Chain A
Amino acid sequence: MSYLDQPRLCFAGRFQADPSTVNNDPTHFNNATFQPNFQQPGPGATNGWWNPRGTGGWRFYGCTVTAVDFEGGVADPVIGAAVSDADDRVSAKIVDLDPLQQGVSEIWGFQVRLVGVDNKELLRGDYRVAAFSDMWGRGAGSSAGDTSAGAFWQSVLENVVWGDVSCSPFLTALRAATQQDRLSIKFNVDGYNMSSNDPEFTTGRVVGAIGPYFEGEPAWFTIGRHLVPSAPIVNYMTCIVDSVRGRVVADFGNALQTTIPGGPVNPIGTLSLAIGASTPTPLGDLTYTDPDWYGKRAGIQEFPVGPAELAALESNSLVLLQSQAGGPPNVLLTENPGGWYLRADCFVFRLNPGESAEVELRVSKYGKPLAGADILLGFTNGQIDNSSFLINAPADALQFPASVTTDALGRAVFRLTASNPGSPRNYLDGQVYGVGYGLKAANVGLLTPNPSDFVSVLVWTETDFPPEPTWWQHVQPVLQQYQNLYPRMGNIVHLGEYDSVVANLPALQAVFTMDRHNPNYMPATRDLSGSKLAMILAWMKSKGPDGKPLLGVQPANS
């Protein structure tokens, strides 16, 4: 079960994403060529893009529950409740994997709370770190950068703590339905404001849904029916078939364009969901011109299906049709031929040499787990930027099998194992790798139709440091890079300056040794290698003749 099942609530409001943009340009990581202008707004070749003073903060802002859907109906006291974030710590952080892979920005240290109109907390849960997916040009009135983009984040809330929900039949039902103290959550973002003079700068529209989670389900996507666009005016989307309730539940939340970024859905005539492309069986029209369709119900629409349709869905594709005057409808979206679908659950990893991680793949056919399916694995560029550096090299620094086969549950797990890649990118630590996967039987190599569907891995460099590192020889070059890239930190500490770092030593030791999931963890960008972190911590503990950490000898050219 997932956010598409019942009991389901929808919410809407604004989000803030406040990343620093100095690090958007890989060359800005080079201390030797860094220019003060890179910390000023402006084009990246000479400046620091559109938000050089970003804090990395991620927030929900003014979000409320807009609708519920459960056995008890569509009314409940929880409607109007605030969907807020943590109220006892700093904000969550939005984090790129690497300057060459900015297409899987993750949210770290996020907590989601439901707070009733009486300010009583109804539930809170820890948002499991997740990256956005399926970014596309959603705003039809296209403009530059991310403003016209749309994407979604899907994950689970863990360690869910419930308040007194007895006043809400909906929440009582949700609590009873979900498992493992988890909930499924998915939200779409669009209309992101990148104009620094605008009151809504760094904010955008967020519309999403929360529903039950079942043990054994993926955390970051929903097993169901996955539709692939055949025209650029629509995007990938997910449906589920609820045979018990006799419903197809379709999530169009990130699938249809808007008239302007963050605006209403672009009217493109009569759209209908149907079974089969050639002789379609219509299931119903989309009511997308109703402002509440997206604004309150997150673009999630249910279509009643009877036994005949349920039977047909076992071996036929779901399709989205656009009516054409005097002719057959356009097929805008359809499932893969044969109804297969393949996706990795978690798809972003950071590894130090010697570390490994499990990747879990799921294969389904017309929404049912597919056992015994062979999956090919290999390096892919995917959406990683390889224009300035060779990526995926050295290949032997990231090991994984050439293929895996799904078990009875349609699940295949393989292991990524990292070794030292050296420094193939000079001033950029480590190397970034893309690992592609493809269904052998589909005969499409490593491709899935969705360009977002591959695994991104950052493998850090193992750097050798002496047991007694010094400021000038070892620490300063590492921390100077952070001072360059995150100028907002300069309001608290000048990381490239010995006196400032020493003056803030206890606080810095605390944040450098926190769990990486803590929103206070430093560096907020979560891109410091294990060997460099160990070196910095060793240095912080060292004591020179003056009782302060070892200064070393300033190089002549610094």
Chain B
Amino acid sequence: MPLKIRAEAIHDVEGLRRSLQNAVELEHATLPTYLTAMYSIKDGSNKEIAGLIKSIVMEEMLHFGLACNILNAVGGAPRINTPNFIPTYPGPLPMGIGEDFLVTLKKLSLEQVHDTFMRIEEPEHPIEFESLAAEPEQYDTIGQFYEAVKYKIRKFGPGIFTGDPALQVSGVFPQLVPVHDVETACQAIDVIIRQGEGTATNPFDSPGELAHFYKFEEIYRGKQLVPDATAPNGFSYTGPPIPFDPAGVFPMADNPDTTKLPAGSRALFLSQQFNYTYTSLLNALHQTFNGQPSRLDTAIGVMYSLRLQAQELMQTPIDAAGQTAGPAWQYQPVQ
């Protein structure tokens, strides 16, 4: 079953802005868990899997940007750099999604892909491809949430697009485009839904590009999803292999937590440095989506640093068994 969502109904533009802020937080919340798994892959190992996760991460970043653009377009202001913007790991997704489902920070494993990643991305009706039946006034899945946002945007109409066009961010991703009216807002939401879930009838969100759930399932099953006339839905996991080599993954201990590292240790030094860099990324993104679009290049630069620092942590042993430290993704305002 897809993860259930508990969120307020949208009654007015203020409620819409709150929902879009929730969307920004949701799109961000999946990145630390995906990136931790991606960073845990040693350079040159598990190339196909690394490529698949990277493609998903890039799309989540795009969704984050699109959600910010929509929020700015309807006169809101994304809040990205506050301590409570960052989820606790292990912990729930925003908006009460999935109730007691906890998102973890773990190295790449098939279990993590299955138990966490596929769970997060589970579509409304996986493989069955039935059309969405829910009344958009009500929603209890991520997909329905976005449908409801879209529905309300259409209902409220052009009058809500009071945001300053100068706040719109574009570039880096071809699909990161300015939002300025009902149509561009709905198109942006369609991109988010389609890339996450696929269309209602096809696991591909665009030619050659699988929706996230199916990419993760490819990893889990170790085979590409390919057209298959003999399969009930026209596709099956019978394509070329997607091998997983556990030796090509750093032995990172589960759910890194800076506060549990010993004082004076190298792991603590590097973990705090990572947290500060991560906080710097959120600050740069906050500036980017609050009036300084040119700061996007700066934010991207910080992302490269994050990767280097995460991989240094993952090569820093923290116990006799050889397990290593890892990125904790915690708020740190000074270093």
Name A residues whose Cβ lies closer than 8 Å to a Cβ of B: 55, 59-62, 82, 84-91, 113, 115, 119, 198-201, 203, 488, 490-492, 506-507, 510-511, 514, 519-520
- The minimal Cβ–Cβ distance linking B275 to chain A, given in whole angstroms, is 11
Extra 5 A-B pairs, beta carbons < 8 Å, given A199-B269, A507-B300:
A86-B280, A88-B280, A88-B298, A510-B300, A511-B301
B333 touches A119 (CB 8 A): yes
Q: Please name all residues of chain B whose beta carbon is closer than 8 Å to the beta carbon of A511 when the two chains form the complex.
A: 301
B335 touches A89 (CB 8 A): no
B266 touches A87 (CB 8 A): no
B297 touches A62 (CB 8 A): no
Q: Please name all residues of chain B whose beta carbon is closer than 8 Å to the beta carbon of A201 when the two chains form the complex.
A: 266
Say yes or no for B334: interface residue by CB 8 A criterion.
yes
Give the CA-CA distance A203 to B287 in the complex, in Å. 31
Q: With A492-B307, A520-B298 in contact, do A89 and B265 touch (Cβ < 8 Å)? A: no
Q: With A60-B335, A520-B298 in contact, do A89 and B284 touch (Cβ < 8 Å)? A: yes
Q: Please name all residues of chain B whose beta carbon is closer than 8 Å to the beta carbon of A115 when the two chains form the complex.
A: 333-334
Q: Please name all residues of chain A whose beta carbon is closer than 8 Å to the beta carbon of B43 when the two chains form the complex.
A: 490-491
Interface residues of B in 275-322 (CB under 8 A from A): 276-277, 279-280, 283-284, 287, 295, 297-298, 300-302, 304-305, 307-308, 311
Give the CA-CA distance A199 to B333 in the complex, in Å. 22
Query: Count of B residues near A, CB < 8 Å?
Result: 28
Binary contact readout B158-173 vs A (1 if CB under 8 angstroms, 0 otherwise):
0000000000000010
Q: Please name all residues of chain B whose beta carbon is closer than 8 Å to the beta carbon of A506 when the two chains form the complex.
A: 172
Give the CA-CA distance A62 to B276 in the complex, in Å. 12
Say yes or no for B264: interface residue by CB 8 A criterion.
yes
- The minimal Cβ–Cβ distance linking A222 to chain B, given in whole angstroms, is 28
A87 touches B276 (CB 8 A): yes
- The minimal Cβ–Cβ distance linking A304 to chain B, given in whole angstroms, is 37
Give the CA-CA distance A85 to B298 in the complex, in Å. 15
Q: For residue B281, which residue of chain A has the nearest CB?
A: A88
B335 touches A62 (CB 8 A): yes
A90 touches B335 (CB 8 A): no
- The minimal Cβ–Cβ distance linking B3 to chain A, given in whole angstroms, is 33
Q: Please name all residues of chain B whose beta carbon is closer than 8 Å to the beta carbon of A113 when the two chains form the complex.
A: 334
B304 touches A88 (CB 8 A): no
Q: Please name all residues of chain B whose beta carbon is closer than 8 Å to the beta carbon of A61 when the two chains form the complex.
A: 269, 273, 335
Give the CA-CA distance A115 to B277 in the complex, in Å. 16
Q: Please name all residues of chain A whose beta carbon is closer than 8 Å to the beta carbon of B335 when the two chains form the complex.
A: 59-62, 84-85
Q: Please name all residues of chain A whose beta carbon is closer than 8 Å to the beta carbon of B298 when the two chains form the complex.
A: 88-90, 520
Give the CA-CA distance A407 to B244 in the complex, in Å. 73
- The minimal Cβ–Cβ distance linking B19 to chain A, given in whole angstroms, is 27
**Pick the contact of B307 from A491, A507, A510 — CB < 8 Å?**
A491
Name B residues whose Cβ lies closer than 8 Å to a Cβ of A: 43, 172, 264-266, 269, 273, 276-277, 279-280, 283-284, 287, 295, 297-298, 300-302, 304-305, 307-308, 311, 333-335
Q: For residue B287, which residue of chain A has the nearest CB?
A: A88
A91 touches B305 (CB 8 A): yes
Residue among B265, B283, B300, B335 with the highest chain A CB neighbour number at 10 A: B335
- The minimal Cβ–Cβ distance linking B116 to chain A, given in whole angstroms, is 25
Q: Please name all residues of chain A whose beta carbon is closer than 8 Å to the beta carbon of B277 when the two chains form the complex.
A: 90-91
Q: With A199-B264, A199-B269, A491-B308 in contact, do A90 and B333 touch (Cβ < 8 Å)? A: no
A520 touches B297 (CB 8 A): yes
Q: For residue A121, which residue of chain B has the nearest CB?
A: B333
Q: With A59-B335, A119-B333 in contact, do A87 and B301 touch (Cβ < 8 Å)? A: no
Q: With A59-B273, A199-B269, A520-B297 in contact, do A88 and B284 touch (Cβ < 8 Å)? A: yes
Give the CA-CA distance A488 to B309 in the complex, in Å. 11
Q: For residue B298, which residue of chain A has the nearest CB?
A: A89
**Pick the contact of B279 from A87, A492, A507 — CB < 8 Å?**
A87
A119 touches B304 (CB 8 A): no
Residue among A82, A199, A201, A514 with the highest chain B CB neighbour number at 10 A: A199
Q: For residue B288, which residue of chain A has the nearest CB?
A: A88
Instruction: List 8 A-B residue pairs with CB atoms under 8 Å apart, sorted by A's residue number.
Output: A61-B335, A82-B334, A85-B335, A86-B280, A89-B298, A91-B305, A491-B43, A511-B301
Give the CA-CA distance A316 to B300 in the complex, in Å. 58
A55 touches B308 (CB 8 A): yes
B333 touches A87 (CB 8 A): yes
Q: For residue B302, which residue of chain A has the nearest CB?
A: A90
A90 touches B305 (CB 8 A): yes
Give the CA-CA distance A86 to B297 in the complex, in Å. 16
- The minimal Cβ–Cβ distance linking A507 to chain B, given in whole angstroms, is 7
**Pick the contact of A510 from B269, B276, B287, B297 — CB < 8 Å?**
B297
**Pick the contact of B308 from A85, A86, A492, A519 — CB < 8 Å?**
A492
Q: For residue A86, which residue of chain B has the nearest CB?
A: B280
Q: Please name all residues of chain A whose beta carbon is closer than 8 Å to the beta carbon of B283 when the two chains form the complex.
A: 87-88
**Pick the contact of A488 from B266, B279, B308, B333 — CB < 8 Å?**
B308
Give the CA-CA distance A510 to B298 in the complex, in Å. 10
Q: For residue B284, which residue of chain A has the nearest CB?
A: A88
Give the CA-CA distance A88 to B301 in the complex, in Å. 10
Q: Please name all residues of chain B whose beta carbon is closer than 8 Å to the beta carbon of A84 when the two chains form the complex.
A: 334-335
- The minimal Cβ–Cβ distance linking B2 to chain A, given in whole angstroms, is 35
Q: Please name all residues of chain A whose beta carbon is closer than 8 Å to the beta carbon of B302 when the two chains form the complex.
A: 89-90
Give me the 10 closest cross-chain CB pairs, A-B, nearest first. Answer: A520-B301, A88-B283, A82-B334, A84-B334, A199-B266, A119-B333, A88-B284, A90-B305, A115-B334, A89-B298
Q: Please name all residues of chain B whose beta carbon is closer than 8 Å to the beta carbon of A200 when the two chains form the complex.
A: 269
Give the CA-CA distance A361 to B290 in the complex, in Å. 44
Q: For residue B309, which residue of chain A has the nearest CB?
A: A55
Q: For residue B43, which residue of chain A has the nearest CB?
A: A491
Residue among A84, A89, A91, A115 with the highest chain B CB neighbour number at 10 A: A89
- The minimal Cβ–Cβ distance linking B235 to chain A, given in whole angstroms, is 29
Q: For residue B300, which residue of chain A has the nearest CB?
A: A507
